[in-house]
Amino acid sequence: MSSEPSDAGAGVPQSQRTSWTQFVKAIASFSGDLYNMTAPPFILSPVSLTEYPSYWGERPSLFAAIADAPNEEERHVRVLKWFISTLKGQYTTRNDQMGSEKKPLNPALGELFYGHWPSVAGSGEQTLVVEQVSHHPPITAYIIENKSKGLVLQGHNAQKTSFSSSTLNVKQVGHALLTVTLPSGATETHLITLPKLRIEGIWYGSPYVELTENSYIASSSGYYSMIEYKGKGYFTGKSHSFKAFVYPPLPSPASVAASGELPTPSTTPKYVAEGTWTATSKLKDGRIFTDVTGPRTEIIVSDISEQDPMETRRLWSEVSKGIRTGDFDLASREKTKIENAERQKRRDEAVAGTPWKLQHFVRIESDPEYARLGKLFKANPPTEDAWVCIRPESQILPSTEPDEEKN
């Protein structure tokens, strides 16, 4: 790692500067699970990683609009618009709410997060189910559904981290698959890959996320998009910049359609959008493509008193309270309690020969849709596993919307 800058730790409370420097030096030479490292209190988030999938749902009207698109091209473009519009929430929320990127709470195996976004102006209710499907390595699986619009987004997320030149590089492992059921009853799928992250500003104690390299959206219609991410000094000279290229399928012979193969995409983009994922972007002709300067719609979660003991806000409530109120002894005591109880559960399960049973998701070795759609952009790796939901939404989450058919 490069040598320590003179103003290192400028964003760190005076009393935690030494422990911050030690922590940064430790991550610089560390490989493995970052969540297991003890970090100074000021950098701890009171929120568990199981809550993060809700960022995918914070633009419900853009999500619902995908289903109303008149054709496959417009649907692909709307998927891209919605995806870009979720990035601000995903990657800058901690900075906006807590002053810098934070270290999330490391979820327990089987930890749950449920919530919903109510229907607005006929957009349909959107629901979220999250389950921590692995503790070591941490893997989070989620499903977001808008049943009345026929939209289902399923995905999973893990991270591989490495440190170089005072930056933490985070490769996201996993992908998301959006399935749209069309009015005809046919389905269209959209594979969404996840961008790489660079966590900058670590030496100064003010970490923030920058996105880097490329991510893709590939649709079963044959359309695909490549999104290129750049930080300061590229494209617009601004942080959080991106450029998205939408490639249409080449007119393909009927035999291609009949065989179920995807048509070959054109090498010339039909649309190019450019701007920042934290504010606005425009198409080449000057029309606005995305605008996330307006508010996001936060998820609605039931009261802790009504939650299952494995629901994240209930499970971590005392730890979160400690972090939020600056009572770090309470936070650390309660965190140790949870970790010890989890270790005991695993020991008991090993003795009884009954491993923990997940409630909502099951792993499939190779996601056929990833393998198929990934060919459009020559996905690397060409195959990937997936965690798929094992039950229809209505069986686990009673709808919160008034149901006209019930009396």
Which residues contact ligand HC3 (rule: CB under 6 A)?
34, 39, 43, 52, 55, 90-91, 101, 103-104, 157, 159, 168, 170, 172, 197, 199, 202, 207, 209
Judged by beta carbon, residue 146 or residue 159, the one nearer ligand HC3 is 159
Q: Phi-psi region for residue 282, left (φ > 0), alpha (ψ -120 to 50) or beta?
A: beta
Judged by beta carbon, residue 34 or residue 67, the one nearer ligand HC3 is 34
Taking the C-alpha atoms of residue 191 and residue 174, their distance in angstroms, rounded to an integer, is 11
Minimal distance, residue 68 CB to ligand HC3, in Å: 26
Say if residues 182 and 213 touch (Cβ distance below 8 Å): no
Say if residues 72 and 221 touch (Cβ distance below 8 Å): yes
Judged by beta carbon, residue 47 or residue 226, the one nearer ligand HC3 is 47
Question: Which of 23, 329, 318 minimizes the C-alpha distance to 163?
Answer: 23
Minimal distance, residue 52 CB to ligand HC3, in Å: 4
Q: How far apart are the first and last CA of the chain?
A: 66
- Number of C-alpha atoms within 13 angstroms, CB side, residue 99? 9
Minimal distance, residue 32 CB to ligand HC3, in Å: 12
Question: Which of 15, 11, 24 minimizes the C-alpha distance to 204?
Answer: 11
Judged by beta carbon, residue 173 or residue 330, the one nearer ligand HC3 is 173
Judged by beta carbon, residue 26 or residue 390, the one nearer ligand HC3 is 26
Judged by beta carbon, residue 45 or residue 148, the one nearer ligand HC3 is 45
Token couple for 181? 């059921």
Judged by beta carbon, residue 34 or residue 262, the one nearer ligand HC3 is 34
Minimal distance, residue 380 CB to ligand HC3, in Å: 19
Q: What is the DSSP string of 95-119?
A: HHHHSS--EEE-PPTT-EEEEEE--
Minimal distance, residue 158 CB to ligand HC3, in Å: 9
Taking the C-alpha atoms of residue 266 and residue 189, their distance in angstroms, rounded to an integer, is 19
Minimal distance, residue 257 CB to ligand HC3, in Å: 35
Helix-helix angle 60-67:72-98, to 10 degrees = 170
Token couple for 55? 């960022």
Amino acid at 70: P
Minimal distance, residue 142 CB to ligand HC3, in Å: 9
Minimal distance, residue 326 CB to ligand HC3, in Å: 18
Judged by beta carbon, residue 37 or residue 362, the one nearer ligand HC3 is 37
Minimal distance, residue 168 CB to ligand HC3, in Å: 5
Judged by beta carbon, residue 83 or residue 91, the one nearer ligand HC3 is 91
Question: Which of 194, 86, 215, 97 minimizes the C-alpha distance to 139?
Answer: 194
Token couple for 248? 């249409």
Minimal distance, residue 209 CB to ligand HC3, in Å: 6
3-class SS of residue 261: coil
Compute how many other C-beta atoms are within 10 angstroms of the C-beta atom of residue 358.
17
3-class SS of residue 85: helix
Judged by beta carbon, residue 197 or residue 373, the one nearer ligand HC3 is 197
Minimal distance, residue 133 CB to ligand HC3, in Å: 14
Return the bridge partners of 154, or none. 143, 177
Question: Which of 200, 180, 199 minimizes the C-alpha distance to 189?
Answer: 180
Judged by beta carbon, residue 104 or residue 322, the one nearer ligand HC3 is 104
3-class SS of residue 36: helix
Question: In 15-162, which ranges are continuous DSSP H helix?
Answer: 17-28, 60-67, 72-98
Q: Is the peptide bond before 381 cis (omega within 30 degrees of 0)?
A: yes
